[in-house]
């Protein structure tokens, strides 16, 4: 983190949270709530009061008629998923991991992949927001709808989210089909693979023509989770243990990366399993990395990926981490990376400790030429002038920010760069 807080606070109720914000405002201090710190940027940094959400956790209520769950904002997604499963319920879609808090994940637009279902924030039906003056506002399509339209992905700029109500559904099963595929085939058939599957994603291994694909679709069952040993081999040994070794070798001896990539990209074999949603969507990610991810109009994604491949091939870059491609339908949230347009995400990663700037800079040049929108929690170099261009509703968000937080109590350096003063 770039800045150091003057002090930390651990409010245990909405009232204590509102008091913490009000007192800081009166003292002229800035305020920032952190989640689990999984963002790659300094979006959660502050030189004022840092609010830690560990005591703002748990389920407030489940409404089985409306099919909603209301949770305290500091609840980790993994706790929410497990609690919902015990109640026979589930979120519709998830990202790759579930370590983050519900408010931290949604505030930056955390998403998985989906043809019909969008980001975690798009599953919000209502949220409770503590504003700079210490008021507690309920926001939904009916109440404070203009705040609801923006605050579901609020970047921590509009206030502190104290509770979130998500849409849920009766728990269901997903069948995952993982299959190696050539780069040429995936890119040629991308639109069909996207259209024919509820959740399609793939990884391309730089320096190779190899990809791993994953298709998740609802299933009538029965559940058939990965076997204990075969699951451990795929998810722990190959995806984490050996992958860690491969990356460490690549960091120490970059010239061997392409040769290793050709072998390691073939290590994961085809498999099919059926399980409850969060167990299919998420997996352990123990190998540390840095990431930049851009959201492009979906029709631009294959072209951009081919440009990325050509760029890597003609450069001296040695990239040992795969490139991840996912999709999302257009949504109605002002600063969602999928706001108003059907989207495909292209994410580039570098193993922690490896120089990443020249790779990310070259990749970013390709993504921005296609009008790409970077993930708010991942590395990028864009500023407010750029965002005003790629987000038609950027002015709506900044006008709301001017109204709710004119003194920039929730400001920090990152927000000054991306939203303007």
The residues binding ligand FAD (CB under 6 A) are 32-39, 43-44, 53, 73, 95-97, 100-101, 103-105, 107-108, 110-112, 155-156, 160-161, 285, 375, 377
Sheet containing strand 31-33, edge to edge, reads 7-9, 49-51, 31-33
Please say which residue, 258 or 380, places its beta carbon nearer to ligand FAD.
Answer: 380
**Of 48 and 53, which has the nearer Cβ to ligand FAD?**
53
Q: How far apart are the first and last CA of the chain?
A: 20
Nearer to ligand FAD, 108 or 258 (CB): 108
Shortest Cβ 298–ligand FAD spacing (Å): 16
Separation CA 11–CA 18 (nearest Å): 9
Token duo for residue 2: 């770039």
- Least distance (Å) between residue 22 CB and ligand FAD: 16
Q: Which one, of 287, 294, 276, lies nearest residue 348 by Cα?
A: 294
Nearer to ligand FAD, 42 or 219 (CB): 42
| Minimum CB distance to ligand FAD, residue 218 (Å) | 20
Nearer to ligand FAD, 160 or 258 (CB): 160
Closest approach, Cβ 262 to ligand FAD, in A, equals 25
Q: Which is nearer to ligand FAD, 140 or 209 (CB)?
A: 140
Nearer to ligand FAD, 111 or 215 (CB): 111
Nearer to ligand FAD, 105 or 304 (CB): 105
Distance (Å, rounded) from C-alpha 175 to C-alpha 177?
A: 7
Cβ of residue 258: shortest distance to ligand FAD, in angstroms? Answer: 25
- Closest distance to ligand FAD from the beta carbon of 35 (Å): 2
Least Å from the CB of residue 410 to ligand FAD: 8
Q: Choose between 107 and 247: whose C-beta lies nearer to ligand FAD.
A: 107
Angle between helix 183-196 and helix 301-314 axes, rounded to 10 deg:
160
Residue of 83, 85, 81 lying closest to 97 (CA atoms): 81
Write the DSSP symbol of residue 239: I
3-class DSSP state for residue 263? helix
CA 420, CA 416: separation in Å to the nearest integer?
Answer: 5
DSSP string, 101-119: BHHHHHHTT-----SS---
Q: Which residues of 78-107 are buried (b: 16+ CB within 10 A; e: fewer)?
A: ebbbebbeeeebbbbbbbbbbbbbbbbbbb
Contact 250, 242 (CB under 8 A): no
Nearer Cβ to ligand FAD (275/293): 293
Q: Rounded to an integer, what distance in angstroms lies between the CA atom of residue 375 and that of residue 163?
A: 23
DSSP code string of 135-188: -EEEEESSSSHHHHHHHTT-TT-S-EEEEEEEE-EE--EEEEEEEEEEHHHHHH
Q: Quick one: angle between helices 357-369 and 301-314, nearest 10?
A: 150
Toward ligand FAD, which CB reaches closer, 158 or 258?
158
Q: How far is the CB of 220 from ligand FAD (least distance, A)?
A: 27
The minimum distance between CB 20 and ligand FAD, in angstroms, equals: 12
Least separation, in Å, of the C-beta of 76 and ligand FAD? 8
Tokens 């109009």 belong to 297
DSSP letter assigned to residue 242 = I
Cα(416)–Cα(383) distance, rounded to whole angstroms? Answer: 9
CB 105 to ligand FAD: min, Å:
5
């Amino acid at each position: 983190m770039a800045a150091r807080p003057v002090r930390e606070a651990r409010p245990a109720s909405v009232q204590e949270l509102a008091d913490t914000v009000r007192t800081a405002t009166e003292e002229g201090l800035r305020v920032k709530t952190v989640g689990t710190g999984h963002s790659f940027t300094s979006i959660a940094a502050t030189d004022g009061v840092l609010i830690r959400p560990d005591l703002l956790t748990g389920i407030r209520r489940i409404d089985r008629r409306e099919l909603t769950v209301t949770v305290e904002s500091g609840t980790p997604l993994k706790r929410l998923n497990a609690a919902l499963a015990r109640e026979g319920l589930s979120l519709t879609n998830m990202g790759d991991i579930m370590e983050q808090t519900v408010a931290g994940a949604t505030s930056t637009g955390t998403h998985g992949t989906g043809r019909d279902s969008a980001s975690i924030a798009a599953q919000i039906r209502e949220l409770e927001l503590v504003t700079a003056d210490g008021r507690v506002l309920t926001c939904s399509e009916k109440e404070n709808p203009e705040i609801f339209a923006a605050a579901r992905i609020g970047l921590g700029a509009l206030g502190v989210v104290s509770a979130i109500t998500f849409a849920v559904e009766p728990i269901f099963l997903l069948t995952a089909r993982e299959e190696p595929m050539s780069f040429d085939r995936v890119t040629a058939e991308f639109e069909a693979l996207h259209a024919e599957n509820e959740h399609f994603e793939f990884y391309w291994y730089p320096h190779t023509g190899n990809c791993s694909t994953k298709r998740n679709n609802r299933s009538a069952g029965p559940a058939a989770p990965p076997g204990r040993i075969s699951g451990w081999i795929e998810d722990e040994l190959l995806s984490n243990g050996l992958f860690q070794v491969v990356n460490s070798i690549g960091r120490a001896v970059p010239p061997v990366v392409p040769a290793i990539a050709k072998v390691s990209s073939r290590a994961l074999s085809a498999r099919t399993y059926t399980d409850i949603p969060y167990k299919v969507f998420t997996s352990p990610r123990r190998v540390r990395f840095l990431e930049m991810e851009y959201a492009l109009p979906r029709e631009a994604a294959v072209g951009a990926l081919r440009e990325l491949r050509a760029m890597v091939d003609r450069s001296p870059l040695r990239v040992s981490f795969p490139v991840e491609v996912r999709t999302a339908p257009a949504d109605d949230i002002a600063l969602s990376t999928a706001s108003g347009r059907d989207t495909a995400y292209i994410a580039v990663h570098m193993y922690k400790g490896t120089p990443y700037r020249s790779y990310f800079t070259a990749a970013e040049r390709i993504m921005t030429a296609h009008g790409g929108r970077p993930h708010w929690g991942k590395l990028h170099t864009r500023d407010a002038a750029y965002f005003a261009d790629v987000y038609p509703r950027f002015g709506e968000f900044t006008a709301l920010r001017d109204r709710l937080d004119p003194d920039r109590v929730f400001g920090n350096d990152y927000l000054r760069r991306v939203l303007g003063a």
